[in-house]
Amino acid sequence: MSLRQTEEIEMAAYQAGDVEALGRIYEQLKQPLYLFIYRYTRDEQLSIDVVQDTFIKIQQYKQSFSPEKGSLKNFLFQTAYRIMIDKLNRRKKWYRLMPFLKPEDPQPANTEDKLTVQQAISSLPEKQRAVILLTYYHDLSQAEIAQMLEIPAGTVKSRLHHAISSLKNMLGGDYL
Amino acid sequence: MNQDPFKHEEQLKTFLDSYHVDIPEFQTEKPGKWQRVIQWLATPVKNPLDPLVETVRSYSLAGTLPIVLGLVIAVLT
């Protein structure tokens, strides 16, 4: 049985009233969700908040999931992405009003490679960043990403192409 | 359309693979409001006075501020 099927069975059980199924879904999907949000924002507390809010939303709207529309993973990632963008937009407004509330830049990482890959991904435009993270680290298809980000599949393809080119240009030199 | 875009990008793949993240332990439930307020208050922020510290401006400000304040107090009293 594939992972997707297992997730869908668990979700069907949760929709039918098995409360413990949500815990199993949480254990299975909280890590990929956290990784996506963290790599996008590089903010640990925000990433935890988004994962928790996503599961609160899932509890409220559990009946709106339907396997015919897409996988549970895609459904959760879409919900998390929307929550994250809302939070980031709200933050930007606050920081514009009160710039002194802006937190310090994320701590530099221990190793040189890690620091470079973090910086490289963070410096990509937000739209390209989401596409490359979802494609490379989360193995989502371009059709799934298009559905999740609510953009045409062609746009996903071009953003991915630009993201790869930008990364290659940024990293250039000795590494690539 | 779904041809692997990283197929011929071995070095880029190696580079992206080096992005490791330590995942902290956290629960499904969010902490209470007070705890969140405390966490927010404890978040380190940039010092808003940083641009004034150890710059030419800070020296001129330190030099002129007492005079300006003295003048203001003299005018007010």
| Each residue's pLDDT tens digit, A106-148 | 555 555 554 578 888 998 999 899 999 999 999 899 999 999 9
Of A51, A74, A105, which marks where a domain is finished? A105
Which pLDDT does position A176 carry in this prediction? 47
Looking at the structure, tell me whether residues A91 and A14 fall in a common domain.
yes
Q: Closest Cα partner for A124 from B21, B8, B19, B45?
A: B19
Of the three residues A105, A121, A140, the one that is the final residue of a domain is A105
The Cα of A176 is separated from the nearest Cα of chain B by a number of Å equal to: 6
Q: Roughly how many angstroms between the first and final C-alpha of chain B, as a whole number?
A: 79
Q: What is the mean pLDDT of residues A28-46?
A: 93
Domain housing A7: 1-105
* A98 and A22 within one domain: yes
Supply the ipTM of this predicted assembly.
0.78
Among A52, A75, A105, give the residue marking a domain's end.
A105
- How far apart (Å, rounded) are the C-alpha atoms in residues B67 and B61? 10
Bridge partner list, B45: A103
Whether B55 shows a pLDDT value over 90: the answer reads: no
Q: How many domains does chain A have?
A: 2
Q: What is the mean pLDDT of residues B12-29?
A: 86
Max distance between CA atoms of chain A, in angstroms, equals 56
CB A41 within 8 A of CB A88: yes
Amino acid, single-letter form, for residue A51: V
Q: Are residues A98 and A112 in the same domain?
A: no
Among B12, B18, B44, select the one facing A103 at the smallest CB separation: B44
Asked if A153 contacts A171 with a C-beta cutoff of 8 angstroms, the reply is no
Please tell me whether residues A128 and A146 are part of one structural domain: yes
User: Above pLDDT 90, what percent of chain A?
Assistant: 49
- Looking at every residue in chain A, the average pLDDT score rounds to 86
For residue B61, the model assigns a pLDDT of 75
Which of B72, B27, B36, B50 lies closest to A100 in space, CA to CA?
Answer: B50
Are residue A62 and residue A91 in the same domain, yes or no?
Answer: yes
| C-alpha span between B5 and A145 (Å, rounded) | 14
Q: Is residue A48 located within the same domain as residue A118? A: no
* Interface with B, mutate which of A41, A50, A101 (most B CBs under 10 A): A101
> Within this chain, do residues A134 and A81 fall inside the same structural domain, yes or no?
no
Going by C-alpha positions, the residue among A64, A94, A93 that lies closest to residue A79 is A64
With bands split at pLDDT 50, 70 and 90, how would you rate the model's confidence at A36? very high
Same domain? A93 vs A164:
no
Residue of A nearest to B41 (CA): A101
Out of B12, B26, B27, closest to residue A164 by CB: B12
Question: Across the interface, which of A136, A160, A161 has its CB nearest the CB of B16?
Answer: A136
